[in-house]
Amino acid sequence: MVVDDHPMWREGVARDLTDAGYHVVAAVGEGAQAVRIARSVRPDVVVLDLQLPDLSGVEVIGGLVEALPQVRVLVLSASGEQQDVLDAVKAGAAGYLVKSAAREEFLDAVRRTAEGDAVFTAGLAGLVLGEYRRLAAAPGDGPEAPRLSDRETEVLRLVAKGLTYRQIAERLTLSHRTVQNHVQNTLGKLQLHNRVELVRYAIEQGLDG
């Protein structure tokens, strides 16, 4: 399923996916519509543009994950919307790719998303790394802020510097799979923390109200 408010992009992406042998179940231009249609067409992967006319990216991802807990969301977005991308990933997106990425790169990202891997670009690694540093520096009130192990930090820094998983595995003498697991963990911890924070917020609001 493709969600993008720009018709040219929507069609281009859908065509690329169809050409590559994927079955595009829906191509829509609005967030609310996307969440509604996703309930009935049940896509495995949603390719989502963060800038939609009606809902924010976080809202769309929240709605999609609620409707279909197994859905994998690949965020396809213009660069330079860093906070939006970080929020989307914390809300449960499985990966992020800039719109200017080449077609092969894009199709590879869709494949990996469908397989359940995190699609980590250098830009996203920088954002996630920054978020862990911010959480560590922020005065702790509430649940224990998630921390990265030294190894995870090391891997994430190398991803942010543009090394491929294979290069990282070589340099750290790890297996490809281990590198992938480390990366996946960094994202998982952040998403879990985000959910805990949301629940805590909801409880506080509920108790106060």
Partner 1 sequence: MGLQAPLWRAVTVFRGAALVYATVLMLAGSREHTRPWLGWTVLAAMVAWTVVTGVRYHDPAGRRWTWLTADLAVTLTCLLVSMLVVPAERLAAGGATLPMAWVAGVVLVWALRGGRRAGGIAALIVGAADLFLRGAVTSATVNGTVLLLLAGGVMGYVSRLTDDAEARLQRAVELEAATRERERLARGIHDSVLQVLALVQRRGTELGGEAAELGRLAGEQEAVLRSLVGVHDTAAAAGTADLRLLLGRYGSPRVTVSSPATPVLLPAAVAAEVAAAAGSALDNVTVHGGPAARAWVLVEQEPDAVTVSIRDDGPGIAPGRLAEAAASGRLGVAQSIQGRIRDLGGTVAISGGPGQGTEVELRVPVPRLG
Binding site for partner 1 (CB under 8 A): 5-6, 8-9, 12, 51, 78-80, 82-83, 85-86, 99-103, 121-127, 129-131, 133-134, 137, 157, 160-163, 167, 171
- Minimum CB–partner distance for residue 179 and partner 1 (Å): 16
DSSP track, the chain: -EE-S-HHHHHHHHHHHHHTT-----EES-HHHHHHHHHHH--SEEEEES--SSS-HHHHHHHHHHH-TT-EEEEEE-TT-HHHHHHHHHTT--EEEETTS-HHHHHHHHHHHHHT--B--HHHHHHHHHHHHHHHHS---SSPPP---HHHHHHHHHHHTT--HHHHHHHHT--HHHHHHHHHHHHHHHHHHHHHHHHHHHHHHHHH-
- Nearest distance from residue 64's CB to partner 1, in Å? 22
**Contacts of 161 by beta carbon, 8 Å cutoff, 6+ apart:** 122
Report in angstroms how near the CB of residue 50 gets to partner 1 at its nearest: 11
For partner 1, the closer CB: 45 or 125:
125
Which C-beta is closer to partner 1: that of 71 or that of 95?
95
Q: Which is nearer to partner 1, 56 or 82 (CB)?
A: 82
For the CB of residue 182, give the shortest distance to partner 1 in the complex, in Å.
17
* Least distance from partner 1 to the Cβ atom of residue 51, Å: 7
Nearer to partner 1 by Cβ, of 4 and 38: the residue is 4
Q: Cβ closer to partner 1: 38 or 95? A: 95
